[in-house]
Amino acid sequence: MLDTNHIAALRELIGDHAVLTEAADMAAYETGARYDKGRAAFVARPASTEQVSAVVAYCVRHGIRLVPQSGNTGLVSGSTPDVSGTQGVLSLDRLTGIFDLDVANRSVRVAAGQRLSELNARLENSGLCFPIDLGADPRIGGMIATNTGGSRFLRYGDVRRNTLGLKVVLADAEGTILDLASDLRKNNTGVDLKQLFIGTSGSFGVITECVLNLEAVPRQTATALLVPSSPDQVSDLLIAMEASLGTYLSAFEGMSGNAVRAALDHVPSLRNPFQDAAVPDFMILVEISRSNALRTGEQSLDEVLEAVLAEIWEGQLIADAFVGPPHEIWAMRHALSDGVKHRGRLIAFDLSFRRGDVMQFLERMKAELPAKFADVTICDFGHIGDGGVHFNLVVPKHDVRMSDGIFENSLRTWVFDIAVQEFGGSYSAEHAVGPKNQAFYDRYTPPEIRKLAAGLRVVTSAGALGSVKF
Amino acid sequence: MLDTNHIAALRELIGDHAVLTEAADMAAYETGARYDKGRAAFVARPASTEQVSAVVAYCVRHGIRLVPQSGNTGLVSGSTPDVSGTQGVLSLDRLTGIFDLDVANRSVRVAAGQRLSELNARLENSGLCFPIDLGADPRIGGMIATNTGGSRFLRYGDVRRNTLGLKVVLADAEGTILDLASDLRKNNTGVDLKQLFIGTSGSFGVITECVLNLEAVPRQTATALLVPSSPDQVSDLLIAMEASLGTYLSAFEGMSGNAVRAALDHVPSLRNPFQDAAVPDFMILVEISRSNALRTGEQSLDEVLEAVLAEIWEGQLIADAFVGPPHEIWAMRHALSDGVKHRGRLIAFDLSFRRGDVMQFLERMKAELPAKFADVTICDFGHIGDGGVHFNLVVPKHDVRMSDGIFENSLRTWVFDIAVQEFGGSYSAEHAVGPKNQAFYDRYTPPEIRKLAAGLRVVTSAGALGSVKF
């Protein structure tokens, strides 16, 4: 239990209602999106950068560890306290005040606590959008702290690429406010300090305000489901589509037959485009899009897609193709994650590879996994256009092997070792680092890199912040 | 003069021929692209990362300051030694060995000493290119150390966005080699350390190897010169073109009448598209491009451009427009820099602004500069699509005010103060920081940012490297 004087002091700083200590009030802040539950000493909910600074400064001076929490939708336990009951949660959920749109600059300045859905709703009439497309609905600060990717990375890149500026509170005794919230697109006047706070899970500072790049909302879209002739052809298919479509291509997503079947079973309203219900082993969702309304004389995107698919068909890269309405095809893509979860106990991996290696890794897993770990189903899907794979393994619901952590840990280590050490891949493509994968950070990060990262963490926050140890 | 024992020791490490000490041999390494000449104690030319490490470790242990030098085409004196004769130049010009193309990943691994032109020549048959388009022909390491932009930033972004990985030598007593040269497009496993070395002018470490993003070579291009109805309309013109053209739009460059006239006078072979030689006050170069070959039934890009210009004409955003062959229109754009230089004594600025502020800044300068600084001609051009302006001022050739630095410095300070303090712009949009603008780094960088940057510099290199003091 934390000294009640501290609670009183924090309430003095940001208001009585803004510091929660009742178990019922704190429960939602103590529980992560996917994993286990921690216990908070308190939840502080500052409503401005200055209030964040005051809370951080107080906690640094009194040795109270703070875990910054944004939308709490992350998948590596990065935003929840541990079980000690001594850590405070610093929630951004009241940090929603600022919304400053600059149409000419194609940018917006927002407080870090704004939800992605709320941001895009407020942008709706501008013809612009923040182009990071996710299944979850995080708050912006957390998206930056984890550097999320999403389904349209291929076209728009990650959050890093779309962040122009940040305001950050450092974990020093003054709660120093670092104003890096420039709205310039091009500015090379020293170290680009904002990069330190992108993807570092709130361990280097608390992000309170952001300037984001916006893109024109696509006004034409066409989608297709492609069945590659063989796994070997997927890479050539991607190359061919990029050459033919250039920046039109906005998604190139892989979906395993197992994942698609799980989605179809779980959501009966989904339309199954495959005749006699024979779902192929592997499919690619392709989306092309552009921002202008269709002009007189311009080919529609459906025509463009048909023409490109005809070329590709000619080259024998695909065995089958279904051009269908975007909402139907995306509905299936978006149902995969939930569908897979309902198949049993999920052991999820967020991997990435050189793009040419994705299918080789998947083939390797299909060949070797069954002999090593019986009764485990591979239900992968992911973002082949950028090398990302949500490599999901499903274990039967009441499997006794899941009663302790030994089986899961040995499975995880086996998969990660192959992905990281043999393929040069990543064990966290777009979910960043948290307590859930801290051990793998320690395992795979070379000592000279760990040393430099730890040095930086000391320079920024004296290691007083967050749930990760870089 | 440096102790000759050091020279002998360095020769022992990387070979006799690889350490230059004769004045004639060193001259080219001591002279920058635009500014004054320094004096080197020696020029070391290692041919591998390991040799760079050996040289750096030796120099750190013996307190010899090294200035890394890449193509030496930079414009802020960042790659040349000072006049003391005590600094060594660490040239990357023999670091050219690696060229490892990964077509499926759309990436290439290169040694940092490769020239941009050489890289693109080697990529020619792949249908891919490194999409940073510059007037100069730097080496890749220097492009990363300065985070160059260029004329197609609007479509492809800067070097930072196109850098997947780096190998770096730190300035510690071991010359630690930091292997951050991942070829993954998505990887969030800790601090993205490579960001520290991008745009920091070689002060944080020596870049020896890089993995770069590649893009499909455009196979269709159309260009036009537009005359906006008024400076106020330029921003709306950009918004309208982005909405109509989306990612087709690959350049939106501003050119002042003064700069264009200077180019036409200097290069008589340029075609002047303006009737009766009346060059307008301001023009926009627009380029649209795509990577596929023209398909049957597809509108050509000239047709697309004509259609979009008709819409824009309708909206009264432009007073005149010339659609012309790309090579002719780009020839004029590329002649601006040289043309302006021949008008007199050049005082060059590399500014950037929120995109909507560019024309306002230029109008402000036109209104106020003449009264403050007589006989100074504004010959600006630049990258309005990303807010960048090469704000060039030309002073008559034999102007006595240029005999010492007082006039130039007072002019620079006046312009920078307005750009940075009143407009929130940047004093170095794409040329980074070097001795030439160190004073402005000190003037405009808030103390809390300087403090953190200095802390990082100590953590990475103990401040032992480069010509800049962050």
Radius of gyration of chain A (CA): 23
Residues 6+ apart with CB under 8 A from A70: A79, A92, A112, A113, A138, A139, A140, A141, A142, A143, A145, A202
User: What is the pLDDT at residue B7?
Assistant: 97
Minimum distance, in Å, between the CA of residue A13 and any CA atom of chain B: 23
Q: Which of B186, B190, B432 sits opposite A158 (nearest CB)?
A: B186
User: What is the pLDDT at residue B217?
Assistant: 93
Express each pLDDT in A154-198 by its tens digit: 999 999 999 999 999 999 999 999 999 999 999 999 999 999 999
A contacts of B183 (beta carbons < 8 Å): 354, 424
| Strands B381-383 vs B388-395: parallel, antiparallel or unpaired | antiparallel
Kindly determine whether residue B190 and residue A104, on different chains, have CB atoms separated by under 8 Å. no
User: What is the pLDDT at residue B2?
Assistant: 78
B161: nearest CA partner in chain A? A161
Kindly determine whether residue A242 and residue B291, on different chains, have CB atoms separated by under 8 Å. yes
Kindly determine whether residue A193 and residue B453, on different chains, have CB atoms separated by under 8 Å. yes
Among B462, B451, B467, residue whose Cα is nearest residue B170: B462
ipTM for the predicted complex comes to 0.96
Average pLDDT of the segment spanning A134-144: 95
Q: How confident is the model at residue B417 (pLDDT cuts 50, 70, 90)?
A: very high
Minimum distance, in Å, between the CA of residue B398 and any CA atom of chain A: 32
Burial of A49 (0-12, 13-18, 19+ CB in 10 A): buried
Q: Which of A187, A239, A433 sits opposite B429 (nearest CB)?
A: A187
Kindly determine whether residue A188 and residue B246, on different chains, have CB atoms separated by under 8 Å. no
pLDDT of B65 strictly over 80: yes
Q: Which of B196, B386, B457 sits opposite A185 (nearest CB)?
A: B386
Minimum distance, in Å, between the CA of residue A376 and any CA atom of chain B: 26
Express each pLDDT in A280-299 by its tens digit: 999 999 999 999 889 888 89
Provide DSSP, A15-45.
-GGGEE-SHHHHHHHHB-SSS-B--EEEEE-
Kindly determine whether residue B189 and residue A441, on different chains, have CB atoms separated by under 8 Å. yes
A294: nearest CA partner in chain B? B244
Average pLDDT of the segment spanning B434-452: 96
B contacts of A249 (beta carbons < 8 Å): none
Q: Which of A297, A356, A424 sits opposite B299 (nearest CB)?
A: A297
Burial B384-398 (b: 16+ CB within 10 A, else e): bbbbbbbbbbbbeee
A234: nearest CA partner in chain B? B104
Question: Which CATH number describes the domain made up of B99-216?
Answer: 3.30.465.10
Residues 6+ apart with CB under 8 A from A375: A395, A396, A399
User: What is the pLDDT at residue B315?
Assistant: 86
Kindly determine whether residue B191 and residue A196, on different chains, have CB atoms separated by under 8 Å. yes
Kindly determine whether residue A106 and residue B242, on different chains, have CB atoms separated by under 8 Å. yes
Amino acid letter for position A284 = I
A contacts of B387 (beta carbons < 8 Å): 105, 184-186
Minimum distance, in Å, between the CA of residue A81 and any CA atom of chain B: 19
Kindly determine whether residue A355 and residue B386, on different chains, have CB atoms separated by under 8 Å. no
pLDDT of B8 strictly over 70: yes
User: What is the pLDDT at residue A225?
Assistant: 96
Distance of CA B434 to the CA centre of its chain: 13
Alpha carbon distance B362, A286 (integer Å): 44
Say what percent of chain B tops pLDDT 70: 99
pLDDT of A276 strictly over 80: no
- Residue B65 pairs in a beta bridge with none
Average pLDDT of the segment spanning B208-232: 96
Kindly determine whether residue B290 and residue A247, on different chains, have CB atoms separated by under 8 Å. yes
Alpha carbon distance A232, A237 (integer Å): 9
Minimum distance, in Å, between the CA of residue B363 and any CA atom of chain A: 17
User: What is the pLDDT at residue B108?
Assistant: 98
Q: How much of chain B is in helix, strand and coil states, percent to nearest 5?
A: 40, 25, 35
User: What is the pLDDT at residue B362?
Assistant: 98
pLDDT of A247 strictly over 90: no
Please report the sign of the dihedral spanned by the C-alpha atoms of residue B277, residue B278, residue B283, residue B287: negative
A444: nearest CA partner in chain B? B189
Average pLDDT of the segment spanning B71-88: 94
Mutate to test the interface with B, among A49, A163, A185, A236 (most CBs of B within 10 A): A185
Amino acid letter for position B171 = A
pLDDT of A202 strictly over 80: yes
Average pLDDT of the segment spanning B230-245: 94
- Average pLDDT of chain A is 95
User: What is the pLDDT at residue A34?
Assistant: 77
Mutate to test the interface with A, among B185, B303, B433 (most CBs of A within 10 A): B185
Q: Which of A186, A192, A298 sits opposite B352 (nearest CB)?
A: A186
Minimum distance, in Å, between the CA of residue A463 and any CA atom of chain B: 14
Ranges of each domain in chain B: 4-94, 99-216, 220-337, 344-431
Pick the CATH number of B4-94 from 3.40.50.300, 3.10.310.30, 3.90.110.10, 3.30.43.10: 3.30.43.10
Q: Which of B106, B432, B460 sits opposite A452 (nearest CB)?
A: B460
Alpha carbon distance B440, B429 (integer Å): 13
Q: What topology is assigned to A220-337 in CATH?
A: Alpha-Beta Plaits (3.30.70)
B contacts of A355 (beta carbons < 8 Å): 104-106, 185
Mutate to test the interface with B, among A152, A186, A300 (most CBs of B within 10 A): A186
Minimum distance, in Å, between the CA of residue B128 and any CA atom of chain A: 9
- Would the CATH topology of A99-216 be identical to that of A344-443? no
CB A438 within 8 A of CB A76: no
pLDDT of B135 strictly over 90: no
Kindly determine whether residue B424 and residue A193, on different chains, have CB atoms separated by under 8 Å. no
pLDDT of A265 strictly over 90: yes
User: What is the pLDDT at residue B35?
Assistant: 67
Average pLDDT of the segment spanning B424-443: 96
Kindly determine whether residue A354 and residue B183, on different chains, have CB atoms separated by under 8 Å. yes
Alpha carbon distance A212, A209 (integer Å): 10
pLDDT of A448 strictly over 90: yes
Kindly determine whether residue B459 and residue A460, on different chains, have CB atoms separated by under 8 Å. no
Question: Which CATH number describes the domain made up of B344-431?
Answer: 3.30.70.2740
Minimum distance, in Å, between the CA of residue A230 and any CA atom of chain B: 16
CA distances (Å), origin A160, targets A156, A221, A326, A425, B188:
11, 25, 27, 20, 11
A contacts of B248 (beta carbons < 8 Å): 247, 290
Average pLDDT of the segment spanning A302-325: 93
Side-by-side strand order, sheet with B177-180: B99-102, B107-111, B206-213, B163-169, B177-180
CB A196 within 8 A of CB B191: yes
Average pLDDT of the segment spanning B297-306: 92
User: What is the pLDDT at residue A36?
Assistant: 73
Kindly determine whether residue A453 and residue B190, on different chains, have CB atoms separated by under 8 Å. yes
Q: What is the dihedral of CA B408, B413, B414, B416, to 10 degrees?
A: 120
Q: Which of A170, A184, A455 sits opposite B352 (nearest CB)?
A: A184
Among B278, B432, B270, residue whose Cα is nearest residue B336: B270
| Strands B177-180 vs A377-378: parallel, antiparallel or unpaired | unpaired
What does the block give as tokens for A379?
A: 């239900």
What does the block give as tokens for A405?
A: 């952590």
Minimum distance, in Å, between the CA of residue B28 and any CA atom of chain A: 26
Kindly determine whether residue B183 and residue A158, on different chains, have CB atoms separated by under 8 Å. no
CB pairs under 8 A between A and B: 280
Question: Which CATH number describes the domain made up of A344-443?
Answer: 3.30.70.2740
B contacts of A299 (beta carbons < 8 Å): 297-299
pLDDT of A1 strictly over 70: no
B179: nearest CA partner in chain A? A449
Of B266 and B246, which is predicted with more confidence? B266
Q: Which of A89-103, B150-164, B266-280, B390-404 comes out lowest in average pLDDT? A: B266-280
Q: Which of A291, A295, A352 sits opposite B186 (nearest CB)?
A: A352
User: What is the pLDDT at residue A397?
Assistant: 92
Kindly determine whether residue B186 and residue A149, on different chains, have CB atoms separated by under 8 Å. yes
Express each pLDDT in A398-440 by its tens digit: 999 999 899 999 999 999 999 999 999 999 999 999 999 999 9
Minimum distance, in Å, between the CA of residue A445 and any CA atom of chain B: 9
